[in-house]
Structure 1
């Protein structure tokens, strides 16, 4: 069943079947009246223009690997969690999607930010340089109440050189959503992404790129 407004909502179980039947009947009626099936919009979101990250000064070249993510985040679905009702359940909006999986969006965001502070390489470049690996663990809109939500991003960054770990840090970024729908969630997650990137750039500026013995 599609949700035209793309707002999370819940049914009282005894009424769910009747409500679904009513929606089906209305859909059939609309199709008969207009002569064509009702069209459902598919809205696509990206992270929008990046907010400038605070400069820690010039950074050395980094090999920035593609951001990795668990299987649940390897799709274009916009995930939300109704934490006020059941903190262990997640769902995705019916008619709203990312332009690409969140890990790919974050890879683009991170490389663009670091390129303004120094040279950005990929894992396949044959240059001796520290390697930055980011594991995305959470990227979702969390509802604290029916009309209150925030974008939640959690990621772990590991900096390596010659097979040795120079540093590792888990980052948590949160940003409030202005509206309780997919659009609000997308904006909040974009803001959380910018916060994460700023935290990561600052951390890199404080992490010496010298192999530990």
Structure 2
């Protein structure tokens, strides 16, 4: 690698870091997942009523801060955007999005307070929710979660879902869009999996 190319990469990385550490007093931008996209036709009649527990995950997802990783620099370091954040925690956004997606498909979505109305419970744990930069100008939104279905307190099935969607821009806005699209893709995969499970006998 020539000195010129090496210096160019360093400058690009520094520019990205400086973008996360904007000048003091800069306005904060807030992001969510946007409107729910139109659902593709799906057969959800076999799912019946299901209790959807709140999504759980690492402590880092219990804050509105937006994070990214520079895979080409140090993939082990999660960096926060200085003046960009979610409107609520990623765990809450995922919970709301998945419930809305299931309901849109015709599933009767219940909360944990409706325990007497169904014996089927869906629990989800996020393993990854991040904007990953492969270079200073290219990133992807990655969502990976493990879903478990219980009936009468017994595990019926468990599966891990993972989606990666390229970001339209190398910034927080692009990351928010990519993570929203990745979350919707996971929700669609989750719906297909639930519909394929043996129907409840309740």
Q: What's the TM-score bracket when you normalise by the shorter of the two chains?
A: 0.7 to 0.9
Partner of 2:135 in structure 1?
145
Measured in 1, the distance between the counterparts of 2:180 and 2:146 equals: 18
8 Å CA contact retained: 1:63, 1:132: yes
Q: Which residue number corresponds to residue 123 of structure 1?
A: 112
TM-score between both structures, scaled by the size of structure 1: 0.80
Which residue is equivalent to 1:46? 32
Aligned counterparts of 1:102 and 1:141: Cα–Cα separation in 2: 12
**Counterpart in the other structure of 1:94:** 82
Structure (1/2) with the larger strand percentage: 2
Equivalence map 1:9-28=2 (5 Å): 9=17
TM-score (norm 2): 0.84
Q: Which runs of 4+ in 1 moved over 6 A?
A: none
TM-aligned CA deviation for residue 54 of structure 1: 3.0
Once the two structures are superposed, what CA deviation does each residue of 1:159-200 show, in whole Å capped at 9, x if it has no partner?
000111111000001110111110110111011011110110
Residue of structure 1 equivalent to 2:16? 8
User: Which secondary structure state, in structure 2, belongs to the residue aligned with residue 90 of structure 1?
Assistant: strand
Which string of whole-angstrom CA distances, capped at 9 and with x for unpartnered residues, describes residues 115-158 of structure 1?
12221101111213310001011111000001010001010000
Tell me if structure 1 keeps the 8 A contact 2:48–2:200: no
Unmatched 5+ stretches in structure 2:
1-14
Q: Bigger radius of gyration, 1 or 2?
A: 1
Shift, 1:210, TM fit: 4.2
CA distance in 2, matches of 1:210, 1:119: 13
**Mind listing any 5+ residue stretches in structure 1 that lack a counterpart?**
1-6, 11-19, 28-37
- Alpha-carbon distance in structure 2 between the residues aligned to 1:201 and 1:106: 14
Aligned length: 181
Q: Contact conserved, 1:53 with 1:201, CA < 8 A, in 2? A: no
C-alpha separation in 2, matches of 1:175 and 1:69: 20
Distance in 2 (alpha carbons) for counterparts of 1:40 and 1:207: 50
Q: Is the 8 A contact 2:68 2:78 kept in 1?
A: yes
Q: CA RMSD in A?
A: 1.9
Q: Is the 8 A contact 2:126 2:144 kept in 1?
A: yes
Give 1:55 deviation, angstroms.
3.5
Assess if the C-alpha contact under 8 Å between 1:130 and 1:209 holds in 2: no
Return the alpha-carbon distance in structure 2 between the equivalents of residues 113 and 52 of structure 1. 9
Aligned counterparts, 1:47-196, within 5 A: 47-57=33-43, 58=45, 59-116=47-104, 117-125=106-114, 126-196=116-186
